[in-house]
Amino acid sequence: MKNKILWWVVFLTAAAPSVYLSIMFFFFPRLLGVDPVEVYLQQNGLWALRFLLVTLACSPLRRLGMKTVVRYRRMLGLYSFFYGTLHLTTYVAGWIEFDWSLFIEDLYRRPFIYVGMFTWVCLFVLAATSPRWMVRRLRKNWVVIHKGVFIAVCAAWLHLWMQSRASAAEPLVYLTIILILLGERVFRRFYKSSLVKPRS
Amino acid sequence: MTRRFSESENHVTPKSMFLNRRQIMQGAGALAMTSMISPLVAAKTANAPNWLNRKINSTVYRSVDTDDSVTDAYDTQRYNNFYEFGTGKDDPVKNAGDFNPYPWEISVSGLCDKPGVLSLEDLVTSSQTEERIYRLRCVEAWSMVVPWTGIQLSSLLRRFQPNSKAKYVAFETIVRKEEMPGQRDRFSFIEWPYVEGLRMDEAFHPLAFLAIGMYGEALPVQNGAPIRLVVPWKYGFKSIKSIVGIRFVDQQPPTTWNLAAPREYGFYSNVNPGRSHPRWSQATERRFGADGKIDRIPTQLFNGYSEVAGLYKDMDLKLFY
Ligand code: HEM
């Protein structure tokens, strides 16, 4: 029972930014900003990245004692894909307005766009292989495939970095978080494992 | 002078007519929305001195007009790239309150016979101002149509009598770290002061303009108060804001965005749909309309100001981007 409630709390909290942004975007666009499409695009992109980071924080948090968080890891990862897809949809429908020639041009001419596309493909593969029956079916391969989350987070950050042009402040905040999350894993693998008995 | 120019110079629009038009435009819906977001709306021009307001209010000539519909002033004041005040589009309007542009002085130096310091008050009170409605095309592939009040750039430059050695004009924005939070950003890719430049013949082209007002009022801080350049055939970042320094030089001066990313932003930066940019396709642009709507429209070479083509007759525009 408690778990059920918690599940809903996490589910609704994670949905909240998209609900808020979408209500604003569709019903009060001018309150979202002078260019609502741009705000909606950028905010969904940022939330995709943030949920990727939250997903990566799950296993370190478990090791710090928050045992239950891993239960929501898959959901949080799917939310990253969800926001990334909203971001992509906004780009196609709102930004280039289905002008596919612009899309093709962007894909081969704008490095930050194809890095973004690559990120989205990573998230798509992770999402598509996330159901439990997929885990069972892919077995060892599943573990390998889901190492792809590390590629995805690096690519997402690169995409952010490449499109920032006036200040490095925001990407550096995200980089710091990513380095802590990845650093913790490297540390555990190469340093701690030689002291303590190996764990999963 | 080209046809468009001389033609429109005879075209005199009384200020009162312009104001009426504006009130009608605003009345139609925009106002209702505006009042809902009033915290942001607080007029940033409230402290404009009397001599400035008087001058702008008494401007009766509109020397350049356009068929494009004028962008909602609400948008023009809230969607700005003015990195001195932050990198977000709404940072300038949010942070403008700390900046006081009055009194203001412009120092003019370099290869000229009469270098010196000119106060804005002297410049404004001794000039004949006019209104010009220009398209403004940002390199980020959005655009607006703005009624500026001001003077032709050449009329200011002439006062200082540049000599024949002067080949370029270099401009500089003010540095005031206490009042401009973007200048305190330690991770900024941009070095302050913001600098820009024009070739001498570009600067003396009749379309090159200095604005002290827009939409019939003193320039809001976030739009470059108290005085900014407007070069309508070039990407917006060439139109340097809050100018304190002008220098006549014999070599192409450094320009801020060119220093930050030389392959992306050239010295000339003429609006050119044929030259693709690594970040944005320049073939089209998102135009902010009169009603808050945004439409994607094709971009024109020189932003449609074909009269400047002569300045670049023998140049490969893809090479000199
Ligand atoms: C096909 C895939 C994608 C495309 C076409 C795309 C396109 C864009 C565009 C056009 C921008 C705005 C740049 C600007 O404002 O100048 C942007 C920003 C951004 N995107 Fe993407 N993107 C894609 C995938 C992703 C993915 C998968 C993520 C995250 C996991 C992501 C995260 C971001 C972030 C964080 C920003 C910056 C927002 C800000 O301005 O702060 N993008 N993207």
The pLDDT assigned to B54 comes to 94
Ligand 1: distance of its center to the CA of B43 in Å?
33
What confidence category does residue B7 fall into, taking pLDDT thresholds of 50, 70 and 90?
very low
Ligand 1: distance of its center to the CA of A85 in Å?
10
Cβ atoms of B242 and B227 within 8 Å: the answer is yes
Of B173, B179, B169, B187, the closest CA to residue B253 belongs to B169
The pLDDT assigned to B123 comes to 97
Q: What percentage of chain B reaches a pLDDT higher than 70?
A: 86
Return the residue matching tokens 């892919």: A138
Would A102 be classed as within a structural domain? yes
Of B175, B172, B163, B217, the closest CA to residue B198 belongs to B172
The pLDDT assigned to A107 comes to 86
What confidence category does residue A190 fall into, taking pLDDT thresholds of 50, 70 and 90?
confident
Would A7 be classed as within a structural domain? no
Instruction: Answer yes or no: pTM beyond 0.80.
Output: yes
What confidence category does residue B43 fall into, taking pLDDT thresholds of 50, 70 and 90?
very low
pLDDT of B203 > 80? The answer is: yes
What confidence category does residue B46 fall into, taking pLDDT thresholds of 50, 70 and 90?
low
Rg of chain B (C-alpha set): 19
CA distance B133 to chain A (A): 21
pLDDT, tens digit, for every residue of A50-86? Answer: 999 999 999 999 988 888 888 999 999 999 999 999 9
Q: What is the mean pLDDT of residues B78-82?
A: 96
A33 versus B320: which is more confidently predicted?
Answer: A33
The pLDDT assigned to A2 comes to 76
pLDDT, tens digit, for every residue of A109-157? Answer: 899 999 999 999 999 999 999 999 999 999 899 999 999 999 999 999 9
CB of A73 within 6 A of ligand 1: the answer is: no
Return the residue matching tokens 């598509």: A128
Would A190 be classed as within a structural domain? no
CB of A86 within 6 A of ligand 1: the answer is: no
| ipTM score | 0.85
Q: Whose CA is nearest to atom 1 of ligand 1?
A: A117
Q: Which domain holds residue A49?
A: 29-185
pLDDT, tens digit, for every residue of B299-314? Answer: 999 999 999 999 999 8
Of A41, A52, A64, the closest CA to residue A14 belongs to A52
CB of A163 within 6 A of ligand 1: the answer is: yes
3-state SS assignment for residue B29:
coil
Q: How far apart are CA A153 and CA A155, in angstroms?
A: 5
Ligand 1: distance of its center to the CA of A160 in Å?
7
The pLDDT assigned to B31 comes to 39
The pLDDT assigned to A194 comes to 62
Average pLDDT, chain B: 87
Closest chain A residue to the Cα of B287, Cα to Cα: A35
pLDDT, tens digit, for every residue of B133-190? Answer: 999 999 999 999 999 999 999 999 999 999 999 999 999 999 999 999 999 999 999 9
Instruction: Indicate the range of A11-15, B37-41, B266-270 predicted with least confidence.
Output: B37-41
pLDDT, tens digit, for every residue of A150-183? Answer: 999 999 999 999 999 888 999 999 999 999 999 9
CB of A153 within 6 A of ligand 1: the answer is: no
The verdict on a CB contact (< 8 Å) between B278 and A163 is no
Question: Residue B2: which region, alpha, beta or left (left: phi > 0; alpha: psi -120 to 50)?
Answer: beta
Closest chain B residue to the Cα of A42, Cα to Cα: B88
The pLDDT assigned to A197 comes to 55
pLDDT of A196 > 70? The answer is: no
Would A106 be classed as within a structural domain? yes
Residue A112's identity, in one-letter code, is F
B135 strand-pairing partners: B145
Would A6 be classed as within a structural domain? no
The pLDDT assigned to A192 comes to 67
For B:174-193, CB contacts with A below 8 A are 182, 185-190
Would A167 be classed as within a structural domain? yes
Q: What percentage of chain B reaches a pLDDT higher than 90?
A: 76
Check if A188 contacts B (Cβ < 8 Å): no
Q: What is the mean pLDDT of residues A34-38?
A: 96
Domains in chain B (CATH in brackets) are 15-312 (3.90.420.10)
The verdict on a CB contact (< 8 Å) between B286 and A166 is no
Closest chain B residue to the Cα of A28, Cα to Cα: B33
The pLDDT assigned to B30 comes to 42
The verdict on a CB contact (< 8 Å) between A169 and B296 is no
Average pLDDT, chain A: 92
CA distance A64 to chain B (A): 33
Q: What are phi and psi of B89, to 5 degrees?
A: -65, -30
Would A5 be classed as within a structural domain? no
Domain count, chain A: 1
Which residues lie below 8 Å from residue A136, measured CB to CB, with a gap of 6+?
none
